Protein backbone atom coordinates (compact mmCIF):
# COMPACT_ATOMS: atom_id res chain seq x y z
CA UNK A 1 0.00 0.00 0.00
CA UNK A 2 1.56 3.34 -1.01
CA UNK A 3 2.44 5.88 1.67
CA UNK A 4 2.65 9.68 1.38
CA UNK A 5 6.21 9.65 0.01
CA UNK A 6 5.27 7.09 -2.62
CA UNK A 7 2.30 9.17 -3.71
CA UNK A 8 4.46 12.29 -4.04
CA UNK A 9 6.87 10.28 -6.18
CA UNK A 10 4.01 9.14 -8.41
CA UNK A 11 2.79 12.72 -8.77
CA UNK A 12 6.30 13.79 -9.77
CA UNK A 13 6.42 11.02 -12.39
CA UNK A 14 3.02 12.05 -13.73
CA UNK A 15 3.92 15.72 -14.07
CA UNK A 16 7.29 14.88 -15.62
CA UNK A 17 5.64 12.73 -18.27
CA UNK A 18 2.72 15.13 -18.78
CA UNK A 19 3.86 18.68 -18.10
CA UNK A 20 0.74 20.57 -16.89
CA UNK A 21 1.97 23.72 -18.64
CA UNK A 22 1.98 22.10 -22.08
CA UNK A 23 -0.34 19.09 -21.84
CA UNK A 24 -3.96 19.38 -22.93
CA UNK A 25 -6.21 19.55 -19.86
CA UNK A 26 -8.29 16.51 -20.83
CA UNK A 27 -5.19 14.46 -21.64
CA UNK A 28 -3.64 15.33 -18.28
CA UNK A 29 -6.77 14.32 -16.38
CA UNK A 30 -6.93 11.01 -18.24
CA UNK A 31 -3.28 10.34 -17.38
CA UNK A 32 -3.94 11.23 -13.74
CA UNK A 33 -6.89 8.83 -13.54
CA UNK A 34 -4.94 6.01 -15.18
CA UNK A 35 -2.04 6.61 -12.75
CA UNK A 36 -4.38 5.95 -9.81
CA UNK A 37 -4.23 9.54 -8.56
CA UNK A 38 -7.90 10.46 -9.06
CA UNK A 39 -9.34 8.76 -5.96
CA UNK A 40 -6.36 7.17 -4.20
CA UNK A 41 -8.64 5.07 -1.97
CA UNK A 42 -10.43 3.50 -4.95
CA UNK A 43 -9.13 0.16 -6.30
CA UNK A 44 -6.39 0.03 -8.90
CA UNK A 45 -7.85 0.38 -12.39
CA UNK A 46 -10.69 2.56 -11.14
CA UNK A 47 -8.70 5.74 -10.59
CA UNK A 48 -7.09 4.67 -7.33
CA UNK A 49 -4.32 2.69 -5.69
CA UNK A 50 -6.11 1.19 -2.69
CA UNK A 51 -4.41 3.75 -0.42
CA UNK A 52 -5.95 5.32 2.70
CA UNK A 53 -8.47 7.98 1.78
CA UNK A 54 -6.71 10.50 4.03
CA UNK A 55 -3.75 10.54 1.60
CA UNK A 56 -5.84 12.17 -1.14
CA UNK A 57 -4.91 15.54 0.35
CA UNK A 58 -1.22 14.73 -0.22
CA UNK A 59 -1.89 14.10 -3.91
CA UNK A 60 -4.09 17.16 -4.33
CA UNK A 61 -1.53 19.45 -2.68
CA UNK A 62 1.33 18.13 -4.80
CA UNK A 63 -0.67 18.51 -8.02
CA UNK A 64 -1.78 22.02 -7.10
CA UNK A 65 1.84 22.99 -6.42
CA UNK A 66 2.75 21.66 -9.86
CA UNK A 67 0.08 23.80 -11.51
CA UNK A 68 -2.00 20.81 -12.59
CA UNK A 69 -5.63 21.33 -13.68
CA UNK A 70 -8.49 19.91 -11.65
CA UNK A 71 -11.64 18.22 -12.93
CA UNK A 72 -13.93 21.19 -12.09
CA UNK A 73 -15.43 19.41 -9.06
CA UNK A 74 -18.25 21.91 -8.49
CA UNK A 75 -19.60 21.25 -11.98
CA UNK A 76 -19.62 17.47 -11.49
CA UNK A 77 -20.26 17.42 -7.75
CA UNK A 78 -23.27 15.09 -7.91
CA UNK A 79 -21.27 12.50 -9.79
CA UNK A 80 -18.23 12.79 -7.54
CA UNK A 81 -19.99 13.10 -4.20
CA UNK A 82 -23.02 10.87 -4.65
CA UNK A 83 -22.99 8.61 -7.72
CA UNK A 84 -19.35 7.48 -7.52
CA UNK A 85 -19.33 6.16 -3.93
CA UNK A 86 -22.63 4.37 -4.57
CA UNK A 87 -21.37 2.76 -7.78
CA UNK A 88 -18.15 1.75 -6.01
CA UNK A 89 -20.06 0.07 -3.16
CA UNK A 90 -22.94 -1.55 -5.06
CA UNK A 91 -21.96 -1.57 -8.72
CA UNK A 92 -20.79 -4.60 -10.65
CA UNK A 93 -17.28 -4.60 -12.08
CA UNK A 94 -18.78 -3.85 -15.49
CA UNK A 95 -20.71 -0.86 -14.10
CA UNK A 96 -17.68 0.48 -12.26
CA UNK A 97 -15.48 0.34 -15.34
CA UNK A 98 -18.16 1.86 -17.57
CA UNK A 99 -19.17 4.80 -15.39
CA UNK A 100 -16.40 5.86 -13.00
CA UNK A 101 -13.72 7.06 -15.44
CA UNK A 102 -15.87 9.41 -17.57
CA UNK A 103 -17.61 10.56 -14.37
CA UNK A 104 -14.36 11.66 -12.73
CA UNK A 105 -13.03 13.19 -15.94
CA UNK A 106 -16.18 15.30 -16.23
CA UNK A 107 -16.94 13.84 -19.65
CA UNK A 108 -20.35 12.72 -18.38
CA UNK A 109 -22.33 14.85 -15.93
CA UNK A 110 -24.67 13.15 -13.43
CA UNK A 111 -27.88 14.18 -11.69
CA UNK A 112 -30.05 12.64 -8.97
CA UNK A 113 -33.65 11.55 -9.60
CA UNK A 114 -34.89 11.04 -6.05
CA UNK A 115 -37.39 13.68 -4.83
CA UNK A 116 -40.92 13.82 -6.19
CA UNK A 117 -43.80 16.32 -5.89
CA UNK A 118 -45.51 14.01 -3.40
CA UNK A 119 -42.40 12.51 -1.83
CA UNK A 120 -39.74 15.01 -0.89
CA UNK A 121 -39.18 14.87 2.84
CA UNK A 122 -40.87 11.45 2.89
CA UNK A 123 -38.65 10.09 0.13
CA UNK A 124 -39.68 6.47 0.73
CA UNK A 125 -43.23 7.42 -0.26
CA UNK A 126 -42.17 7.90 -3.89
CA UNK A 127 -44.62 6.88 -6.61
CA UNK A 128 -42.43 6.60 -9.72
CA UNK A 129 -42.94 3.03 -10.95
CA UNK A 130 -40.54 0.62 -12.60
CA UNK A 131 -42.18 -2.47 -14.11
CA UNK A 132 -40.12 -5.45 -15.32
CA UNK A 133 -40.32 -6.19 -19.05
CA UNK A 134 -37.94 -9.01 -19.91
CA UNK A 135 -34.39 -7.74 -19.49
CA UNK A 136 -35.58 -4.15 -19.10
CA UNK A 137 -37.59 -2.00 -16.70
CA UNK A 138 -40.24 0.44 -17.91
CA UNK A 139 -40.24 3.58 -15.76
CA UNK A 140 -43.04 6.14 -15.43
CA UNK A 141 -43.21 9.05 -13.00
CA UNK A 142 -42.07 12.55 -12.15
CA UNK A 143 -39.04 13.85 -10.25
CA UNK A 144 -38.42 17.37 -9.00
CA UNK A 145 -35.66 19.68 -7.69
CA UNK A 146 -33.14 17.90 -9.91
CA UNK A 147 -29.90 19.87 -10.04
CA UNK A 148 -27.99 19.71 -13.34
CA UNK A 149 -30.63 17.60 -15.13
CA UNK A 150 -30.30 19.97 -18.11
CA UNK A 151 -26.59 19.07 -18.34
CA UNK A 152 -26.62 15.42 -17.31
CA UNK A 153 -25.98 12.35 -19.41
CA UNK A 154 -26.72 9.96 -16.53
CA UNK A 155 -28.92 9.96 -13.45
CA UNK A 156 -29.12 7.90 -10.29
CA UNK A 157 -32.79 6.97 -9.94
CA UNK A 158 -34.93 5.23 -7.34
CA UNK A 159 -38.32 3.84 -8.33
CA UNK A 160 -41.01 1.62 -6.85
CA UNK A 161 -40.80 -1.94 -8.11
CA UNK A 162 -43.20 -3.60 -5.64
CA UNK A 163 -46.21 -1.60 -4.41
CA UNK A 164 -47.45 -4.56 -2.37
CA UNK A 165 -44.85 -4.28 0.41
CA UNK A 166 -44.12 -1.49 2.92
CA UNK A 167 -42.72 1.60 1.27
CA UNK A 168 -39.07 1.18 2.28
CA UNK A 169 -38.92 -2.40 0.97
CA UNK A 170 -40.42 -1.97 -2.48
CA UNK A 171 -37.82 0.38 -4.02
CA UNK A 172 -35.03 -0.41 -6.47
CA UNK A 173 -32.08 1.72 -7.59
CA UNK A 174 -31.15 2.33 -11.24
CA UNK A 175 -28.84 4.28 -13.50
CA UNK A 176 -30.94 6.17 -16.07
CA UNK A 177 -29.69 7.48 -19.42
CA UNK A 178 -30.97 11.07 -19.59
CA UNK A 179 -30.79 11.02 -23.40
CA UNK A 180 -33.24 8.13 -23.74
CA UNK A 181 -36.71 8.61 -25.27
CA UNK A 182 -39.33 9.45 -22.66
CA UNK A 183 -37.05 11.63 -20.50
CA UNK A 184 -38.23 15.26 -20.47
CA UNK A 185 -36.42 18.00 -18.51
CA UNK A 186 -38.17 21.27 -17.66
CA UNK A 187 -36.53 24.21 -15.84
CA UNK A 188 -37.71 25.38 -12.42
CA UNK A 189 -37.04 29.09 -12.02
CA UNK A 190 -35.86 30.01 -8.54
CA UNK A 191 -36.15 33.18 -6.50
CA UNK A 192 -32.64 34.11 -7.73
CA UNK A 193 -33.83 34.14 -11.35
CA UNK A 194 -31.73 31.07 -12.11
CA UNK A 195 -32.96 27.64 -13.10
CA UNK A 196 -30.29 25.33 -11.75
CA UNK A 197 -33.05 22.95 -10.65
CA UNK A 198 -35.42 21.04 -12.91
CA UNK A 199 -38.45 18.82 -12.94
CA UNK A 200 -38.04 15.60 -14.88
CA UNK A 201 -40.86 13.60 -16.45
CA UNK A 202 -40.31 9.90 -17.18
CA UNK A 203 -42.74 8.37 -19.66
CA UNK A 204 -42.18 4.76 -20.69
CA UNK A 205 -38.42 5.09 -20.17
CA UNK A 206 -36.72 1.75 -20.80
CA UNK A 207 -33.80 0.97 -18.45
CA UNK A 208 -31.87 -2.28 -18.93
CA UNK A 209 -31.60 -4.48 -15.87
CA UNK A 210 -27.81 -4.33 -16.17
CA UNK A 211 -28.14 -0.68 -15.05
CA UNK A 212 -29.66 -1.67 -11.70
CA UNK A 213 -27.49 -1.08 -8.60
CA UNK A 214 -28.07 -3.57 -5.80
CA UNK A 215 -30.78 -6.18 -5.57
CA UNK A 216 -34.37 -5.69 -6.64
CA UNK A 217 -36.25 -4.20 -3.68
CA UNK A 218 -33.04 -3.14 -1.92
CA UNK A 219 -32.99 0.38 -3.34
CA UNK A 220 -33.62 2.11 -0.02
CA UNK A 221 -30.44 0.66 1.48
CA UNK A 222 -28.47 1.63 -1.63
CA UNK A 223 -29.97 5.13 -1.51
CA UNK A 224 -28.76 5.60 2.07
CA UNK A 225 -25.18 5.43 0.81
CA UNK A 226 -26.00 8.16 -1.69
CA UNK A 227 -27.77 10.36 0.87
CA UNK A 228 -25.09 10.09 3.55
CA UNK A 229 -22.41 11.00 1.00
CA UNK A 230 -24.59 13.86 -0.32
CA UNK A 231 -24.82 15.48 3.11
CA UNK A 232 -21.08 15.23 3.64
CA UNK A 233 -20.53 16.71 0.15
CA UNK A 234 -22.85 19.67 0.87
CA UNK A 235 -21.96 20.42 4.47
CA UNK A 236 -18.49 18.98 4.92
CA UNK A 237 -16.45 20.41 2.08
CA UNK A 238 -12.87 21.54 2.59
CA UNK A 239 -12.78 25.24 3.54
CA UNK A 240 -9.73 27.28 4.60
CA UNK A 241 -9.83 29.40 7.74
CA UNK A 242 -12.16 32.37 7.15
CA UNK A 243 -13.21 30.80 3.88
CA UNK A 244 -16.65 30.62 2.32
CA UNK A 245 -19.42 33.04 3.23
CA UNK A 246 -17.85 34.33 6.45
CA UNK A 247 -14.74 35.40 4.56
CA UNK A 248 -16.79 37.55 2.19
CA UNK A 249 -18.49 39.39 5.05
CA UNK A 250 -15.27 39.79 7.03
CA UNK A 251 -13.61 41.22 3.92
CA UNK A 252 -16.37 43.79 3.52
CA UNK A 253 -16.11 44.69 7.22
CA UNK A 254 -12.39 45.42 6.91
CA UNK A 255 -12.69 47.28 3.61
CA UNK A 256 -15.58 49.56 4.54
CA UNK A 257 -15.24 50.92 8.09
CA UNK A 258 -18.05 53.43 7.50
CA UNK A 259 -20.56 50.53 7.60
CA UNK A 260 -19.59 49.29 11.04
CA UNK A 261 -21.82 49.39 14.12
CA UNK A 262 -21.37 47.84 17.55
CA UNK A 263 -24.32 45.50 17.07
CA UNK A 264 -23.08 44.25 13.69
CA UNK A 265 -19.60 43.81 15.13
CA UNK A 266 -20.87 41.55 17.90
CA UNK A 267 -22.94 39.49 15.50
CA UNK A 268 -20.06 39.14 13.05
CA UNK A 269 -17.73 37.95 15.84
CA UNK A 270 -20.29 35.36 16.96
CA UNK A 271 -20.80 34.03 13.44
CA UNK A 272 -17.05 33.99 12.78
CA UNK A 273 -16.55 31.75 15.82
CA UNK A 274 -19.42 29.47 14.77
CA UNK A 275 -18.09 29.23 11.21
CA UNK A 276 -14.63 28.32 12.50
CA UNK A 277 -16.10 25.68 14.83
CA UNK A 278 -18.08 24.23 11.91
CA UNK A 279 -14.95 24.21 9.75
CA UNK A 280 -12.97 22.28 12.36
CA UNK A 281 -15.86 19.86 12.88
CA UNK A 282 -15.86 19.30 9.13
CA UNK A 283 -12.16 18.45 9.24
CA UNK A 284 -12.86 15.86 11.93
CA UNK A 285 -15.76 14.44 9.90
CA UNK A 286 -13.51 14.03 6.86
CA UNK A 287 -10.96 12.22 9.02
CA UNK A 288 -13.69 9.82 10.13
CA UNK A 289 -14.79 9.43 6.53
CA UNK A 290 -11.22 8.55 5.57
CA UNK A 291 -11.43 5.34 7.61
CA UNK A 292 -14.97 4.26 6.75
CA UNK A 293 -18.35 5.11 5.32
CA UNK A 294 -20.09 8.39 6.19
CA UNK A 295 -22.55 8.19 9.06
CA UNK A 296 -25.36 10.35 10.42
CA UNK A 297 -22.85 12.97 11.59
CA UNK A 298 -22.91 14.33 8.04
CA UNK A 299 -26.52 15.36 8.66
CA UNK A 300 -25.39 17.54 11.56
CA UNK A 301 -22.76 19.20 9.37
CA UNK A 302 -25.31 19.90 6.67
CA UNK A 303 -27.66 21.39 9.27
CA UNK A 304 -24.94 23.74 10.52
CA UNK A 305 -23.95 24.65 6.98
CA UNK A 306 -27.51 25.71 6.08
CA UNK A 307 -28.11 27.75 9.22
CA UNK A 308 -24.76 29.52 9.06
CA UNK A 309 -25.09 30.37 5.37
CA UNK A 310 -28.50 31.93 5.98
CA UNK A 311 -27.43 33.92 9.04
CA UNK A 312 -24.18 35.12 7.46
CA UNK A 313 -25.84 36.17 4.21
CA UNK A 314 -28.49 38.03 6.22
CA UNK A 315 -25.79 39.86 8.15
CA UNK A 316 -24.05 40.76 4.88
CA UNK A 317 -27.20 42.38 3.51
CA UNK A 318 -27.64 44.39 6.72
CA UNK A 319 -24.00 45.44 6.75
CA UNK A 320 -24.20 46.78 3.18
CA UNK A 321 -27.39 48.74 3.99
CA UNK A 322 -28.88 50.17 0.76
CA UNK A 323 -26.25 48.41 -1.37
CA UNK A 324 -27.37 45.10 0.09
CA UNK A 325 -30.80 45.52 -1.50
CA UNK A 326 -29.50 45.64 -5.07
CA UNK A 327 -29.66 42.59 -7.30
CA UNK A 328 -27.56 42.23 -10.41
CA UNK A 329 -29.65 40.22 -12.85
CA UNK A 330 -33.14 38.73 -12.86
CA UNK A 331 -32.68 37.14 -16.28
CA UNK A 332 -33.29 33.39 -16.15
CA UNK A 333 -29.96 31.61 -16.35
CA UNK A 334 -29.13 27.91 -16.64
CA UNK A 335 -25.88 27.69 -14.65
CA UNK A 336 -23.51 24.75 -14.77
CA UNK A 337 -22.69 25.11 -11.07
CA UNK A 338 -23.69 27.12 -8.00
CA UNK A 339 -21.37 30.09 -7.52
CA UNK A 340 -21.88 32.05 -4.29
CA UNK A 341 -18.73 34.12 -4.63
CA UNK A 342 -19.30 35.25 -8.20
CA UNK A 343 -22.49 37.18 -7.40
CA UNK A 344 -23.56 40.03 -5.17
CA UNK A 345 -24.86 39.97 -1.60
CA UNK A 346 -28.48 39.96 -2.71
CA UNK A 347 -27.92 36.77 -4.68
CA UNK A 348 -26.22 35.07 -1.73
CA UNK A 349 -29.06 36.02 0.60
CA UNK A 350 -31.71 34.61 -1.73
CA UNK A 351 -29.79 31.47 -2.75
CA UNK A 352 -28.95 30.56 0.86
CA UNK A 353 -32.66 30.07 1.55
CA UNK A 354 -32.46 26.84 -0.41
CA UNK A 355 -29.69 25.41 1.77
CA UNK A 356 -32.20 24.23 4.38
CA UNK A 357 -34.18 22.33 1.72
CA UNK A 358 -31.69 20.78 -0.71
CA UNK A 359 -29.89 17.61 0.32
CA UNK A 360 -32.52 16.82 2.94
CA UNK A 361 -34.67 19.40 4.72
CA UNK A 362 -33.43 20.67 8.07
CA UNK A 363 -36.50 19.15 9.75
CA UNK A 364 -35.65 15.67 8.44
CA UNK A 365 -31.99 16.07 9.37
CA UNK A 366 -32.94 17.11 12.90
CA UNK A 367 -34.81 13.82 13.23
CA UNK A 368 -31.77 11.89 11.96
CA UNK A 369 -29.45 13.60 14.44
CA UNK A 370 -31.92 13.11 17.29
CA UNK A 371 -32.45 9.41 16.64
CA UNK A 372 -29.13 8.18 15.23
CA UNK A 373 -26.62 10.45 16.96
CA UNK A 374 -28.27 11.38 20.27
CA UNK A 375 -30.23 8.15 20.66
CA UNK A 376 -33.54 9.88 21.39
CA UNK A 377 -36.84 7.99 20.92
CA UNK A 378 -37.97 7.76 17.32
CA UNK A 379 -41.03 9.60 16.09
CA UNK A 380 -44.14 7.37 15.73
CA UNK A 381 -44.36 5.93 12.22
CA UNK A 382 -47.79 4.42 11.73
CA UNK A 383 -47.16 3.56 8.07
CA UNK A 384 -43.95 1.60 8.63
CA UNK A 385 -45.45 -1.87 8.08
CA UNK A 386 -48.34 -0.95 5.77
CA UNK A 387 -48.08 -1.94 2.08
CA UNK A 388 -47.39 1.15 -0.03
CA UNK A 389 -50.45 0.61 -2.23
CA UNK A 390 -52.71 0.88 0.85
CA UNK A 391 -51.33 4.23 2.00
CA UNK A 392 -53.42 7.35 1.48
CA UNK A 393 -51.79 9.84 -0.89
**Catalytic amino acids?**
230
| Angstrom distances, CA of residue 208 to CA of 19, 82, 138, 204 | 41, 21, 9, 13
The C-alpha atoms of residue 97 and residue 81 are separated, in whole angstroms, by 18
The C-alpha atoms of residue 93 and residue 60 are separated, in whole angstroms, by 27
Within 10 Å of residue 123's Cβ, how many Cβ atoms? 19
What crossing angle do the helices spanning 56-65 and 4-17 adopt, rounded to 10°?
40
Contact between 230 and 158 under an 8 Å Cβ cutoff? The reply is no
Report DSSP letters for 281-325, one per residue.
Answer: HHHHHHHHHTTS---THHHHHHHHHHHHHHHHHHHHHHHHGGGGG
Backbone conformation region of residue 73, classed left if phi is above 0, alpha if psi is from -120 to 50, else beta: alpha
Q: Give the HSE-up count for residue 268: Cα atoms under 13 Å, Cβ half-sphere.
A: 23
Amino acid sequence: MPDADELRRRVAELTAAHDPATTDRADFLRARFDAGLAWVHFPAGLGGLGAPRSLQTVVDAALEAAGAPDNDPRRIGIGLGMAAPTILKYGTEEQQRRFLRPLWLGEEVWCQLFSEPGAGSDLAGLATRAVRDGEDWIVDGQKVWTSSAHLARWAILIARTDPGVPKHRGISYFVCDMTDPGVEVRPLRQITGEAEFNEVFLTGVRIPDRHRLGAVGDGWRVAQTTLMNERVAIGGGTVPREGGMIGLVAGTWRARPELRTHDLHQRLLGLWVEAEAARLAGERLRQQLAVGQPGPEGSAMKLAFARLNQEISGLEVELLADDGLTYEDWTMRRPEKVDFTGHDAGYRYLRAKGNSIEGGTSEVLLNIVAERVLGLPAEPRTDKDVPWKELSR
